[in-house]
A and B are shown apart, each in its own frame.
Chain A
Amino acid sequence: MKLYEYQAKQVFEEAGIKIPKSVLIENVDELESALETVGLPCVVKSQVLSGGRGKAGLVVFTPTKEKAVAETTRLFQHDLKIKKILIEEAVNIKQEIYVAFTVDPVEATGLLMVSVEGGVDIEQLAVTQPEKIIKEPIDLRYGLMPFQASQVAYSLGLPEDVSKQLKKLFLQLYNVFKEYDAELVEINPLFVTEDMALIAGDGKLMIDDNSMYRQTKYQKQETDYRTEAEYEASLEGIPFIQFDGDIGLMCAGAGLTTTVYDLIHYEGGTVANYLEFGGPNYKKALKSMEICLKVPSKVILIVTFGTIARADVMAQGIVDAIKQLNPDRPIVTCIRGTNEKEAVETLKSAGLEPIFDTEEAVRKAIQLAKGV
């Protein structure tokens, strides 16, 4: 789960890392009092989870009150349905540093990554001049040792006072990485101000989804989702993405669902939603179909080839769901795997015509969607 910038910065502040003075607002009326606290010039920062906010015009520097009002008004009316905006003081910047902690899946270590050339072009730097990003492996049994933090901090050619603060920040940020079971925690840019202070200019914190059972502090809110269907799916832990095409996918297994998505596009069809009810969710056919029916699709395509996610159980779930929900659109089924003979009987007894080949099922769904 990815946190918003304002949430990540709350976490940083609690960990002892300095952040710019800021106020979070939820409508334009709150701007005036925010400006009184923050002062001018300021930065108007949309709280959305996508990257590249600056280049997309979602983060704007505003020298005057008029400009701040205009930008805030514009952003609250944006197509992205921005709910929260962070009004932040503009910091006098001398230098921008990149700092992050993540894991190295090959070496099986944690990883501290630092570059004194931080900022928006860090990805480009990683490709063209990877030597400019220092990578320090961390044994997760012991954590980041102070000597490591020190070694890295003093190797960057920064003024001694800055290095000293940076060492402390590494240790503080590592604690966040550890305590929040982070896939990634990143400060980019970390400002070095004119008076040599370190301030987190941005914040990214991604909590490992497999650790969410013990990470209860930040939960997703209904307002974090674009549609009711997406919100309901998230409550059930069912992976779901809504698009604006014709075919609703109700498949099992992330790899298979992605492949069916690919095949639909190869064959000239379009996808209304991605829904994956395999793994631990294979008994949730009823809920899955309920969610699919909330999406304006023309046909629902069910493709499974499960092992633990037994075909007979899923087929029974689908038949029960159809009886209960009485769907208003055709359903194509391609259900294979453990106990598939029983599954086929179940589907046939409910009047469905099971298909066994995925590509055939995909073509059938496209035909139905196009009304051929």
Chain B
Amino acid sequence: MSIFIDRDTKVCVQGITGKEGSYWTKHMMELGTNVVCGITPGKEGQEVEGLPVYNSVKNAVAKHEIDASMLFVPPKFTMDAVMEALDAGIKKIVTIADGIPLHEMVLIRQAAKEHNAIIVGGNTSGVISPKLAMMGSFPHWIDRVYKKGNIGVMTRSGSLTNEVTAMIVKAGYGVSTLIGIGGDPVPGTRFAEFLNMYENDPETKAVVIIGELGGIMEEEVAEEIAKGAFTKPLVAFLGGRTAPKGQKMGHAGAIVTGGKGSVEDKIRALNGVGALVAERPRLVGTYLEQLGVPKE
């Protein structure tokens, strides 16, 4: 088992004929992802990796059953591509675009909520269930990172995820599903909103979150645990403990969140509900062991 994506998930790729799109479609299929077709306006009738290309998502859903859409679309055009997928009735969307304008990302998240859909990203590598399937741009063939196992991983970072996950694997664990929620201030879906899926996945025995200073997503995770909505062991790694105090959001950031968002606040919130926070990537595996998480 896994969450969000497995071998049965039928995926279309928006922007499949682009350089990134065709490159990563090939790797998604190589891993076993069930990619059924691609979409690039004006390219209907062409093929990429043996898959048919359509002018629109609407044309694609007329010919194929599609569960999820993977976007390899530049940030400027991402809102349009998301709206197109939602309009065609697709409920799972992943966008790796780095640089989606803030106000558009707010509209994207709002639209997803109204359509009862889940948007992962932007500014992420996507979602991967190792050895099964992925939507995104992961070097899935690097075994010391993308090993199949029973740890759910959620992250706000890219490279740091590889770093931490390599340590999880080094400790003898593997990953059930890794979700890159992305590094933008307004991600399509937040950490806490995936906890329920991990809770209900029998394969996932524990969850690791890779966070950082700023925002309140780690605090929201602590609230879910406090409410009893998530009951499995949880370990966090948070970057930026020694970072010089930034003033990026000035007053309003602190006012929206009621003064929360520092790494100290996050540690306090998570420790308060029994979750452990690792000081170094290496310690994430050690803490999973301390919490008694089985390796098989």
Contact = CB atoms under 8 A, between A and B. Distances in A.
B103 A259 contact: no
Contacts of A147: none
A106 interface: yes
Given A102-B252, A127-B259, A51 B139 contact: no
Given A253-B160, A266-B280, A307-B162, A140 B251 contact: no
Contacts of A262: 239-243
Contact of A279 (B98, B139, B160, B162): B98
A219 interface: no
Interface stretch (A9-17, A85-93, A165-173, A205-213): A205-213
B232 interface: no
Contacts of A123: 251, 254-255, 259
B interface SS class = loop
Interface residues of A, number: 65
Contact of A307 (B113, B139, B184): B139
Contacts of B6: none
A201 interface: no
Nearest to A123: B254
A140 B98 contact: no
Contact of B101 (A130, A211, A258, A309): A211
Residue of A208, A261, A265 with most chain B CB atoms under a 10 A cut-off: A208
A95 interface: no
Chain B interface extent, by class? 35 or more
Contacts, number: 187
A188 interface: yes
A359 interface: yes
A126 B259 contact: yes
Interface in B105-122: 106-107, 109-110, 113
Nearest to A188: B251
Given A181-B102, A206-B250, A308 B256 contact: no
A263 B137 CA distance: 27
A106 B100 contact: no
Contacts of A65: none
Nearest to B97: A210
B159 A309 contact: yes
Given A262-B241, A308-B125, A103 B186 contact: yes
Given A259-B239, A307-B138, A253 B159 contact: yes
B212 interface: yes
A358 B275 CA distance: 25
B279 interface: yes
A259 B250 contact: no
Nearest to B255: A126
A208 B251 contact: no
A87 B243 CA distance: 35
A103 B162 contact: no
The list of the 6 closest CB pairs from A to B, nearest first, reads A255-B157, A253-B159, A255-B160, A208-B102, A108-B109, A305-B162
5 contacts: A50-B247, A51-B247, A105-B109, A186-B250, A337-B162
Interface of A: 50-51, 100, 102-106, 108-111, 113, 122-123, 126-127, 130, 133, 139-141, 178, 181, 183-184, 186, 188, 204, 206, 208, 210-211, 213-214, 241, 251-256, 258-259, 261-263, 265-266, 278-280, 304-309, 336-340, 358-359
Interface of B: 20, 75-76, 96, 98-103, 106-107, 109-110, 113, 125, 137-139, 142, 155-163, 166, 183-187, 190, 210, 212, 215-216, 220, 239-244, 247, 249-256, 258-259, 279-282
